[in-house]
Chains A and B, each alone.
Chain A
Amino acid sequence: DADVTQTPRNRITKTGKRIMLECSQTKGHDRMYWYRQDPGLGLQLIYYSFDVKDINKGEISDGYSVSRQAQAKFSLSLESAIPNQTALYFCATSEASGRALNEQFFGPGTRLTVL
């Protein structure tokens, strides 16, 4: 079984709808991240969480919110989806600082299309 899973893998929705993307991990890592990937822009950090009680904004948090329900679960929500949020979304995890050089382990991605 995959260590980092994302659901759904693909989603098509309409402008104005609320969408939740979910991420689960079995690696036992404290840190979790949400990125979006756009062609030619690489990965941009949306939100990150260093433990269950710690949530931080990344580079492009506007229009998004997150919830860290447990160490193993980190959800990303689009409260009112808009077309320019069409992208590939990745969840990632890592151990705490000082161990394993902050190597991040990525899920398979969720392709979101907002019409």
Chain B
Amino acid sequence: GNSVTQMEGPVTLSEEAFLTINCTYTATGYPSLFWYVQYPGEGLQLLLKATKADDKGSNKGFEATYRKETTSFHLEKGSVQVSDSAVYFCALRSGGDKLIFGTGTRLQVFP
């Protein structure tokens, strides 16, 4: 069945460091891929998305490229800020229009 695997956290970084959060997926066909972010005490918000191979989603300095050959959708940011501290979820859109979420990766950024 369809599934999403994320690197375990927490990821702890200093401000202005480079961020990578790995995400790989298993799916039939060509799923759409998403990154959601959950700030403390809030619900999830869509961060970025990609619908086909080699698409690059980007938002707020974050980027992720849909790599079909490696079934990956890694999240990157060149210079993180304290305000980026949150939990990040990778997800794919499966058959039936449901989202399958990864387990989430907590990012902690210190000044």
Q: A residues engaging B (CB < 8 A)?
A: 4, 31, 40-43, 45, 48, 50, 58, 90, 92, 94, 97, 101-109
Binds A, one of B14-22, B61-69, B77-85, B101-109: B101-109
Which residues of B approach A to under 8 Å, CB–CB? 32, 34, 41-46, 49, 51, 89, 93, 97-99, 101-104
With beta carbons under 8 angstroms apart, the residue of A41, A45, A107 that contacts B43 is A107
Complex CA distance for A31 and B96, rounded to whole angstroms: 12
What is the minimal beta-carbon distance from B16 to any residue of chain A, in angstroms? 29
Pairwise interchain contact B43-A109, C-beta atoms closer than 8 A: yes
The CA-CA distance from A108 to B39 in the complex, in Å, is 10
Point out the residues of chain A lying under 8 angstroms from B42, CB to CB. 108-109
For B43, list chain A residues within 8 Å (CB).
Answer: 4, 90, 92, 106-109
Please give, as numbers and ranges, the residues of chain B lying within 8 Å of A107 by CB-CB distance.
43
Give the docked Cα–Cα distance between A48 and B42 (Å). Answer: 21
Q: Contact check: which of A50, A102, A105, A108 meets B32 at CB < 8 Å?
A: A102
* CB of B33, distance to nearest CB on chain A (Å): 10
Q: How many A-B residue pairs have CB under 8 A?
A: 47
- 6 A-B pairs with the lowest CB-CB distances in the bound complex, closest first: A106-B43, A42-B103, A43-B101, A106-B44, A42-B101, A97-B97
Least distance between A88 CB and chain B CB atoms (Å): 9
Given contacts A41-B103, A42-B89, contact A103 B46 (CB under 8 A): yes
Nearest chain A residue, comparing its CB with the CB of B103: A42
Please name all residues of chain B whose beta carbon is closer than 8 Å to the beta carbon of A58 when the two chains form the complex: 98
Q: How far is the CB of B51 from chain A (nearest CB, A)?
A: 6
Chain B nearest CB from A44 CB (Å) reads 8
Q: Point out the residues of chain B lying under 8 angstroms from A31, CB to CB.
A: 97
B32→A101 contact, CB < 8 A? yes
CA of A48 to CA of B97 in the docked complex: distance in angstroms? Answer: 10
Please determine whether B49 and A101 come into contact, CB atoms closer than 8 angstroms: yes
Neighbouring A residues of B44 by C-beta, 8 Å? 43, 90, 92, 104, 106
Return chain A residues, CB-CB under 8 Å to B34.
103
A103 near B98 with CB under 8 A, answer no
